[in-house]
Structure 1
Amino acid sequence: MSKLLYSATMSVDGFIAGPGGDMSWLTGHLGPNPAVDDLIHEVGALLVGNRTFRGDDPHRGTEQDGKAFGGGWSGPQFVLTHHAPAAPVPDVTFVGDLDSAVAAAKAAAGDKYVNVLGASVARQCLEAGVLDEVLVIIAPVMLGDGVRLFDHPGGTNVRLERLSLGEVPHATNLWLRVLR
């Protein structure tokens, strides 16, 4: 059975996107990362938040613009939204509620990961008790403002267990299991 994995590249001060969802900061921190290269082959489907799907792309203006993992992955994507576009998007299914989106993504992924993209949908998955793992690629930069990896007004205590810690020249990979 598939697992839900939230993966994101994060600044040292905890942001996955800059102010207004700006992803241009990430361009200078992309590079070879064996953990990500291995992960791509283990992803069977994406569960994507609407803002992430419609948002900025660190590959803007390049051949990889709009492609998951910079074009390294292709497959079914499930976008959680209440505002599906009128025109269909190839390989993308728009789903209006979390339970249906998770069920559809898990069915499509088979025994591979459902990779969760987007802070809001990841938080919703955590609150629903369906998020299994978190992979944070920590880039050596501080943004000072933007979209946090995890934001829970009023605070909370999500217990995590470290599965692995690795370093590449441009980042540190931290892989965690969500404890229930």
Structure 2
Amino acid sequence: MAKVLYSVTMSVDGFIAGPGGDMQWMRPYLGPNPEVDALIPRIGSLLVGRRSHDGDDPHKGETGEGEAFGGGWSGPMYVVTHRVPDAPEPGVTYVNDFARALAAAKESAGDRYVNVIGANVAKQCIEAGELDEVLLLFAPVMLGDGTRLFDQAGGRTVRLERKSVTETALATSLWFDVV
């Protein structure tokens, strides 16, 4: 059965995108990462928010632009949106209902991961009790503003249990189970 994983690169001050959705801040930290390289073949499908899907690409102007993990992964992608395009792109399924999108992504993933991309979709997974794991790749930078990893008006505690810590020259990875 598929597990739902929120994997994301984050600044040390808690932002996953800079002001206006800027993802170019991430470029210096996209180097080799054995943990990410080992994760990619374990991903069966992607569950992506529309803003993340349509937004800035840290691989802009490079090979792999517009592709998941810079072209390192391919497979079924489910985009959660209230604005389904008239002419969808190949390989992408646009779904206007979160629960249906998650169910389809889990079915497609089989016994591999559904990898979540986007803070709002990750928040919906948490609210539905469907998030199983979190992989945080901490980049040694502070952005000061942007999109937070998890933002809940009034606050909310989500308990995590650390599974592993991996350090590379460019980032530190922390892998958690959601308790």
How many pairs does the alignment contain?
179
How far the C-alpha of 1:28 sits from its partner, in A, is: 0.9
Instruction: Tell me which residue corresponds to 1:76.
Output: 76
Which deviations, in whole Å up to 9, do the C-alpha atoms of 1:38-71 show, x marking residues without a partner?
Answer: 0001000000001000100001111211000000
Instruction: Tell me which residue corresponds to 2:42.
Output: 42
Which deviations, in whole Å up to 9, do the C-alpha atoms of 1:58-93 show, x marking residues without a partner?
Answer: 011112110000000000000000101111211100
Which deviations, in whole Å up to 9, do the C-alpha atoms of 1:79-114 show, x marking residues without a partner?
Answer: 000101111211100011111011000010000000
Whole-angstrom CA distance in 2 between matches of 1:166 and 1:62: 27
Give the SS at the match of 1:130: coil
Give the SS at the match of 2:136: strand
Question: Is 1:102 equivalent to 2:102 in the alignment?
Answer: yes
Whole-angstrom CA distance in 1 between matches of 2:88 and 2:32: 33
Whole-angstrom CA distance in 1 between matches of 2:4 and 2:176: 12
Whole-angstrom CA distance in 1 between matches of 2:131 and 2:96: 18
Question: Is 1:176 equivalent to 2:164 in the alignment?
Answer: no
* Contact 2:53-2:79 within 8 A present in 1 as well: yes
TM-score under structure 1 normalisation?
0.98
Structure 2: state its 5+ residue gaps. none
Where in structure 1 do 4 or more consecutive aligned residues deviate above 4 Å? Answer: none
Instruction: Tell me which residue corresponds to 2:133.
Output: 133
Amino acid at match of 2:151: D
Over the aligned positions, Cα root-mean-square deviation in angstroms equals 0.5
Instruction: Tell me which residue corresponds to 2:60.
Output: 60
Instruction: Tell me which residue corresponds to 1:13.
Output: 13
Instruction: Tell me which residue corresponds to 1:118.
Output: 118
Whole-angstrom CA distance in 2 between matches of 1:102 and 1:30: 28
TM-score under structure 2 normalisation?
0.99
Question: Is 1:90 equivalent to 2:102 in the alignment?
Answer: no
Percent identity reads 64
Whole-angstrom CA distance in 2 between matches of 1:25 and 1:114: 26
